[in-house]
């Protein structure tokens, strides 16, 4: 599962060529959350956060939500490209400055 981003200690990963619904995984230590991007006509219209293991702190949830809001179009693009192109390669991005909501 390649890493797309590392944001304030939260790692955002994607399974390339994975099944729908469109989603990524957020991992922080032992905690994991699935983030589902619901889209219509190529635009993300809703984001769903599904805890999978452990719990994110309220601050981590706020930071993650602000980050996903900022990057949801890029995540959607990477997802779509991974469905079309086997062996898609990209360089993970590390972001250390907080995104303001």
Indicate whether 101 belongs to any domain.
no
Task: State the Cα–Cα distance between residues 38 and 46, nearest whole angstrom.
Answer: 5
Indicate whether 60 belongs to any domain.
yes
pTM listed for this prediction: 0.89
Q: How far is CA 99 from CA 15, 38, 65, 95, 96, in A?
A: 25, 22, 10, 9, 9
Lowest mean pLDDT among 16-20, 43-47, 78-82: 16-20
Indicate whether 98 belongs to any domain.
no
Per residue in 26-47, pLDDT tens? 999 999 999 999 999 988 999 9
Task: State the Cα–Cα distance between residues 10 and 26, nearest whole angstrom.
Answer: 6
Indicate whether 97 belongs to any domain.
no
- pLDDT score of 64: 95
- Judged on CB neighbours under 10 Å (0-12, 13-18, 19+), 85 is exposed
- pLDDT score of 79: 86
**Number of separate domains in the chain:** 1
Domain that includes residue 57, residue range: 3-85
Is the pLDDT at 101 greater than 70? The verdict is: no
Indicate whether 100 belongs to any domain.
no
Is the pLDDT at 59 greater than 90? The verdict is: yes
């Amino acid at each position: 599962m390649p890493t797309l981003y590392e944001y304030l200690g939260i790692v955002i990963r994607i399974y390339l060529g994975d099944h729908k619904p469109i989603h990524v995984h957020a991992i922080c230590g032992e905690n994991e959350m699935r983030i589902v991007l619901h889209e219509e006509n190529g635009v993300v219209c809703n984001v769903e956060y599904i805890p999978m293991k452990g719990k994110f702190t309220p601050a981590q949830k706020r930071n993650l939500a602000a980050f996903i809001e900022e990057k949801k179009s890029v995540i959607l693009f990477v997802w779509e490209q991974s469905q079309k192109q086997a062996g898609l390669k990209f360089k993970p991005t590390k972001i250390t400055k907080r995104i303001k909501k």
